[in-house]
Amino acid sequence: YVQETNRDILKKALRSDFNDFEDAIQYYSAIQLGEIDIITTRNLKDFKKSEIPVLSPSTTNKLLLKDM
């Protein structure tokens, strides 16, 4: 699935406390979509204030394999 990036998301990303603009875009895109259970990233430290659970790729893989 590819989420649309719109002006509202970009404004929120620019005004956010995120150190990385691209991380902010990903986060606010996920928030806008509203159907995201987790964010998977190697950059956990930039998502400390996330309202969505944030997991490393290895942790996500373990959870997915556990459910199989």
Q: What is the pLDDT of residue 1?
A: 64
- Residue in the block written with tokens 């691209």: 22
Residue 24 CA to residue 32 CA, distance in Å, equals 12
Can you tell me the distance from the alpha carbon of 24 to that of 52, in angstroms, rounded to the nearest whole number?
13
- Tell me whether residue 12 is exposed, middle or buried, using C-beta atoms within 10 angstroms of its C-beta: 0 to 12, 13 to 18, 19 or more: middle
Would you list the domain boundaries of the chain?
7-66
pLDDT 10s digits, 39-58: 999 999 999 989 999 999 99
Against a cut of 0.95, is the pTM above it? no
pLDDT at 21 over 70: yes
Tokens of 26: 């990903």
Contact 38, 60 (CB under 8 A): yes
